[in-house]
Structures are given as structure tokens and as C-alpha cells.
Structure 1
Amino acid sequence: MAYQNLVSTLKENILYVTINREKALNALNKDTLTELADVIEYANETVEVRGVILTGAGEKAFVAGADIKEFSDYNGKQGEELAKRGHQQVFDAIENSTKPFIAAINGFALGGGLELAMACHIRIASENAKLGLPEVTLGLIPGYGGTQRLTQLVGKGKAIELIATANMVTAVEAEKIGLINYVVSQSELISKAEEILNLIKLRAPLAIAAAMKSVIASVNGNDGYGTEIEEFGKCFETEDFREGVSAFVEKRKANFKGA
């Protein structure tokens, strides 16, 4: 698929995805969401992809929200379908991916933009970033998982405060409350994400996928313990487990194949 709103590059097993609508502050319109769905599917199906770095073009915005004009005249049924489709194709698809997604938040992450970042497994923000869910100022609520994921990350009280006031928080405050993992300078943003993924690349891919599946099962109200037990057992059937044990006994670095 030829992308009009994304730039996608695979380099050294890392898929770099940039939302490329800088003049629109990288806002999420229908076409961009369609392209994101496609690139997520590509990441999941491509063995060479070990992780994804998702960011926005320029230095002003990661994603400054959704394209409000596209749904300004929707009725209730259309609004529900909009949210459902977004969940399935993009936001849940990222969270349920077997490949780690890192959001490199290079500026404003508002509304659907913050929801996109929260769907990723790890979040890093530049010092100038500001994050928030301003939907109630439009008479709406977050519709792409924001009420759920924000609560999981920062707790009920803080989530209700941020959603109900529509206040933005700085990157420093976001790190303090657990909304993001790290704050770095703009120039260090991508290299910090690469640093994390390069460490992950040294580990067993199937074990990484199993661990992520178990964590997500827990936060989404599924049987996290049961999932962990099942995935733990499956790991014993992998070549990577045998390689990891052999490398440990032989005091050498493991060479995992993802098998």
C-alpha cells in the first residue's frame, strides 16, 4: 500500500512510522487511520519487524487530535461505529500486537493522539510535549480507549481529573504520574526509543510476545494469571528456550531465532 499520510521505513528490524501531516499537526483523519491499520497489520505479519517506533512529523505535534470536521454531523449510531472501527483496526490492534510499539511523542498529543500513544506499549516524550484529552470541551468523551487506558496508567482519580477538566499536562508531569516512561530532549527522542528496542531485540521474540500478551490480558480484565500460566508452558516448546538455557549454561550470549 502506498501511503499518503505516513512515512514507513524498516531498518535493522525496527519499523519507523511517521504520521506525515505536519501542516495539520498530524491530526487523525479517516485516511490516516486506514493507513495506520495497514502498517500495523504489516508489522504483525512481517518476521523482520521486531519493534515499531511511532512518531509525528515536525517538532510541534505527535498527533494533535482527530479531524473533527469529518464527524461533526454524525448521529449516535455513526459515532458508535466510528469508535468501534477505530478500536478494532488501530488502537486495540496496536495494544494486542506481538511486536512492541513505542510512541515517540514529539509535541502535542491530544485527544485521539494521546489515545494512540496510550495504545502503544511504551511512551517516550520530548521536553516540549503536552498531553491531554480535551474531548469534553466538544461535548464528547474519549472514544478510542482513552477512558480505559488512562485509568490503567494513572489511576481512577487522576484519570477522571484529566478527562473532566480537559487540562493538558507537561511531559515532566506526565512522567511523574506514570503516563509516559521517559522525558528526553527533542534530539534524543528517536535514539532513546531505538535504545530500548535494541535491548528488546537481544531477547527471545516469542517470549517477548508471550509476556506482552499476559500483561495485556491482566489490564484488560481477562484472566491474566491463567494467560501467564498458559504462555509460560508454551515457551518450553520453543527452540529459543533451549537456546537460552544452553547459552546460560555455556556462559555465552544467546542467539535467538524466534522459533
Structure 2
Amino acid sequence: MSWDTVELDVEDGVATLTVDRPDRLNALNLETLAAIEEALAAAEDGDARALVLTGAGEKAFVAGADIEYMRDLSTPEAQAYAELGHRVADAVETFPAPAIAAVNGYAFGGGCELALACDLRVASERAVLGQTEIDLGIVPGWGGTQRLPRLVGDEVARRLIFFGERVDATDALEYGLVGEVVAHDQLDGYVAEMASELASKPAFALRAAKDALNAANETSQAAGLAYERRVWSGLFGTHDQREGMAAFVEKRDPEFE
């Protein structure tokens, strides 16, 4: 499959999805959102064991939704646009392998929300992030009001959303909005190494771990703990569980499926 505004490369179990509209700072219009949704499905069908999201060019990860497109939307049209954005973010969040956002530049509005849907976020020293919708007369509409406070805490999330603050990589790291900051010219290689290491892990167990971690945000602690018990015990008898424990006992490297 091919798309005009998205590139997907799957190699050695790692799917790299690049939003490719550098002339528009990789802003997400309808075509691009639909392409991302299709590319995510293709990556899943390709049995990707790790997913990397990034943006083309030197300036932006994803600078946000396409404001020129949004400005004249009716309420029903805006609802449909929001639903598509939510489907894409949800597809990233529930992708059956760890997803890493390689934030190589601007990540505003919907771009920040796309990063929030990932499991891990690594930022270039040049990155600038923010939920900037308030200055457009709107609020985050693709999950930011829900995912951001779970990541950075309620007070910080309210400040970022109320003021539409744009934070550099150093402040983003301090807030917990990203997990690591690396030199700009090292970002791609660093994230590629992370993704490669994740792809070498037992895929079924990683997916179970991701599902259990996501459940912590959706249910009570008691329900989440019950889910964890079921997932944990359900891994026993799988090839990767048998192989991982045998390799540990036998003091050798495991050979996971």
C-alpha cells in the first residue's frame, strides 16, 4: 500500500510510520489521518513487533491538525473529524506492540495528542510540544484532555491546556511529557535501537503487558489487578514463556518466536 502523505517501512519487525507533509509541517488533514489509520492497520497485518511514529523534514513531528481545513467546519463535520482523530489515536494506543514517538520538532495540538497515544516518547533537543488549541477558540479534541493529565498530573495538564503553553524539550522532560531528550542528529538512530530491542522481546508477552498497562487507565485498581492476574497466568504454556524461563535456568540467551 502507498499513500501521498504517509510513509510506512517495516523491517526486522519494526514498523516506522512517517507523516510526510513537510511543506505543511506535517499537519493532519483528512487525507493524512485516513492514511495513518490505514498504515497502522497495514503495520499490524505485517506483524510489526514495535512501532515508531515520526514526521518528515527538520522542523516538525506533527504541527497539529490542519487549521485551514478546520476553520469553516460545521458542528457535524467537526464531530466526524474528531471521531477520525480519536480512531487514529486509539489505534496507536491499542496497537499490539509498543509504540514510540520520535518527536523531532513541533508537536502541537493533534500532533501532541498523537505522541500522547504512544507508549514511549523520545524528543529531539529541538522539540517543542503543547496543547495549543485554546488560542484557536477550541480545546484538545483527539484525547488530550484525557491522556495528558494521566501522564503529567492534573495541575500541569490544566496549565498546559488552559494557557496553551508551548514547552521546549527540557521542560517537557521535567513535566514528564517525554521520557528522554537526545541530540537532534542522534534521534533517529537512538529510537531505531530502542525499537530494535523491543522487537527482539517476546511479542505475546509485550502485547499482554501493554494491554494490562492500558487497563490501569480504564478501570479501578481492583479490576486492573484482576486483569493482570489473568494475563500473567495466561502466558504460561506459551512458547516464549517456556523458552524464556528455560534460557534463564540454562544460562543462555532465549530464542523467542
User: TM-score under structure 1 normalisation?
Assistant: 0.95
Within 5 Å, which residues of 2 pair with 1:36-47?
36-47=36-47
Does the alignment pair 1:96 with 2:94?
yes
Deviation at 1:111, TM superposition (A): 0.3
User: TM-score under structure 2 normalisation?
Assistant: 0.95
CA distance in 2, matches of 1:201, 1:73: 43
Match of residue 246 from structure 1: 246
Deviates more, 1:161-170 or 1:190-199: 190-199
CA distance in 1, matches of 2:231, 2:16: 29
Aligned alpha-carbon RMSD (Å): 1.3
Deviation at 1:73, TM superposition (A): 2.1
CA distance in 1, matches of 2:219, 2:45: 26
Does the alignment pair 1:81 with 2:72?
no
Match of residue 197 from structure 1: 195
For the residue of structure 2 that corresponds to 1:219, the secondary structure is coil
Q: Deviations for 1:102-130, whole angstroms, at most 9, x for unmatched residues?
A: 11011100000000111111111100110
Match of residue 124 from structure 1: 122
Deviation at 1:84, TM superposition (A): 2.0
Match of residue 21 from structure 2: 21
Gaps of 5+ in 1: none
For the residue of structure 2 that corresponds to 1:28, the secondary structure is coil
For the residue of structure 2 that corresponds to 1:123, the secondary structure is strand
Match of residue 208 from structure 1: 206
Match of residue 185 from structure 1: 183
Deviation at 1:33, TM superposition (A): 0.5
Deviation at 1:46, TM superposition (A): 1.9
Q: Deviations for 1:154-207, whole angstroms, at most 9, x for unmatched residues?
A: 000000000000010010110111110110111111111122222222321111
Within 5 Å, which residues of 2 pair with 1:152-231?
152-221=150-219, 223-231=223-231
CA distance in 2, matches of 1:23, 1:62: 12
Q: Deviations for 1:48-101, whole angstroms, at most 9, x for unmatched residues?
A: x2111111111111011111222222233332232123212x100110111111
CA distance in 2, matches of 1:209, 1:63: 26
Gaps of 5+ in 2: none
**Is the Cα contact below 8 Å between 1:43 and 1:99 reproduced in 2?**
no
Letter in 2 for 1:74: L
CA distance in 2, matches of 1:75, 1:221: 34
CA distance in 2, matches of 1:43, 1:232: 26
For the residue of structure 2 that corresponds to 1:78, the secondary structure is helix
Between the two proteins, what is the percent identity of the paired residues? 40
Q: Deviations for 1:194-245, whole angstroms, at most 9, x for unmatched residues?
A: 2222222232111100000000011233632122111112101311111111
For the residue of structure 2 that corresponds to 1:59, the secondary structure is coil
CA distance in 1, matches of 2:128, 2:200: 32
CA distance in 1, matches of 2:193, 2:175: 23
Deviation at 1:45, TM superposition (A): 2.2
CA distance in 2, matches of 1:23, 1:103: 21
CA distance in 2, matches of 1:53, 1:239: 26
CA distance in 2, matches of 1:8, 1:96: 18
Count of aligned residue pairs for this structure pair:
255
CA distance in 2, matches of 1:234, 1:42: 27
Letter in 2 for 1:246: A
